């Protein structure tokens, strides 16, 4: 009866004995779809043939240049994508068991091999390898999710606000890739009653950028609590960024606002960042068409101007990262942009973060938003 290998495989036979190799090759030719077989007589010869095209490896543990499990360990390291079957003699069954414990999918005793057993063992080994890889991907996804959650806790701190006179709302959403970037936000109220808010964005995506975003956020909070809220704060953040970034092209944009203790005025610095949106006395406007200065990490002698904004009795102000205005909207998937964001707020009549995010749909980049509002008493 012919063996049942239902798919054409690319297989490497690592066997130094010509007689044993001939037997295995003859048995494999009886399969419904005979595999494409490469032969290696030594571990050294196998190293050149263990490419990504090899789907399965049959390994004899009695090789001239490797002792027992050494050959298996080398194969597993060189071809982690391939299923591995170990060939043993009658006296080495215990070695076959040890090989499975070391990472092989199965072992076969040479004297017991026939066409059906060989084909079935290869097929089962392939399925076990697929199952192992699926499980590994699930574990890796779980670890990434836990790491993202840990990073997100650092990027989304509990606001240090001691007043009920304003409403404070935040949202943080990862982009379509699902991986956290370096967006960060924070809000702190100092003993004089002033409320300090920041939203920032470290360029790039990945754990390094997310970790740098956490560092920038913690440094900002520390400096604010220490009474540094002006250009000294920005210069310190700039120095921190240069010291901690992985590459010189990494920069950070941010927008920070200091709201006066009576909540009627704000002093802002827009550091290469999208401008905040302000709803004041029913009118929707962009706070600053021109930034205060360049992003952090670009010019060592940069300076940033202050933007003074009267707020009045009743107002809402939204600080956000560019993930919001770079979202695709409408039938033609056009970028929302700052003007589109302002128009959207006007149509809604107020800034409703959940409604706003539902309208923009899928985000291509991370989104961090802080909304602070004061209602007329």
Q: Using an 8 Å Cβ cutoff, are 233 and 220 in contact?
A: yes
| Mean pLDDT within 49-76 | 86
What pLDDT score does 138 carry?
A: 76
- CA atoms within 13 A of residue 82's CA, in its CB half-sphere: 27
- Among residues 174, 233, 235, the alpha carbon closest in space to that of 209 is found at 174
**What length does the chain have?**
377
Kindly report, residue by residue over 167-202, the tens digit of the pLDDT.
999 988 876 555 567 899 999 999 999 999 999 999
Cross-strand bridge partners of residue 202:
182, 252
Least confidently predicted of 110-124, 240-254, 356-370: 356-370
| Mean pLDDT within 32-42 | 88
Q: Using an 8 Å Cβ cutoff, are 12 and 38 in contact?
A: yes
Structure tokens at 305: 């101007």
Distance CA 289, CA 230 (A): 21
The pTM of this model reads 0.62
Domains, the chain:
10-137 (3.40.50.2300), 156-374 (3.60.40.10)
Structure tokens at 187: 């809000």
Q: Using an 8 Å Cβ cutoff, are 136 and 115 in contact?
A: no
- Taking the CA atoms of 156, 293, 230 and 219 in sequence, report the sign of the dihedral they define: positive
What pLDDT score does 331 carry?
A: 67
Kindly report, residue by residue over 220-260, the tens digit of the pLDDT.
999 999 999 888 999 999 999 999 999 999 999 999 999 99
């Amino acid at each position: 009866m012919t063996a049942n290998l239902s798919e054409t495989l690319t297989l490497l036979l690592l066997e130094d004995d010509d007689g044993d190799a001939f037997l295995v090759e003859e048995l494999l030719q009886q399969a419904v779809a005979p595999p494409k077989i490469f032969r290696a007589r030594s571990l050294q010869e196998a190293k050149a043939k263990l490419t990504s095209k090899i789907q399965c490896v049959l390994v004899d543990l009695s090789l001239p240049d490797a002792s027992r499990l050494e050959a298996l360990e080398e194969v597993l390291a060189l071809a982690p994508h391939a299923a591995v079957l170990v060939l043993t003699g009658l006296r080495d069954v215990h070695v076959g068991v040890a090989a499975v414990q070391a990472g092989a999918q199965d072992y076969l005793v040479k004297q017991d091999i026939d066409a059906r057993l060989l084909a079935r063992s290869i097929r089962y080994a392939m399925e076990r390898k697929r199952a192992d890889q699926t499980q590994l991907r699930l574990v890796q996804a779980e670890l990434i999710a836990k790491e993202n959650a840990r990073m997100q806790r650092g990027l989304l701190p509990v606001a240090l606000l001691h007043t009920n006179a304003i409403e404070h709302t935040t949202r943080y959403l990862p982009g379509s890739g699902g991986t956290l970037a370096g967006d960060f936000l924070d809000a702190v109220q100092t003993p004089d009653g002033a409320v300090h808010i920041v939203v920032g964005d470290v360029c790039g995506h990945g754990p390094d950028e997310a970790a740098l975003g956490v560092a920038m956020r913690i440094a900002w909070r520390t400096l604010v609590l220490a009474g540094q809220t002006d250009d000294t704060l920005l210069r310190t953040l700039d120095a921190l960024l240069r010291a901690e970034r992985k590459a010189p092209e990494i920069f950070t944009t941010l927008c920070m606002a200091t709201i006066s203790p009576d909540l009627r005025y704000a002093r802002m610095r827009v550091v290469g960042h999208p401008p905040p949106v302000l709803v004041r006395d029913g009118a929707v406007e962009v706070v600053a068409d021109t930034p205060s200065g360049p992003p952090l990490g670009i010019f060592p002698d940069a300076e940033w101007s202050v933007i003074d904004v009267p707020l009045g009795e009743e107002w809402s102000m939204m600080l956000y990262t560019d993930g919001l205005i770079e979202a695709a909207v409408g039938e033609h998937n056009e970028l929302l942009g700052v003007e589109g964001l302002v128009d959207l707020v006007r149509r809604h009549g107020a800034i409703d973060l959940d409604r706003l995010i539902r309208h923009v749909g899928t985000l291509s980049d991370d989104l961090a938003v802080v909304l602070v509002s004061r209602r007329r008493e």
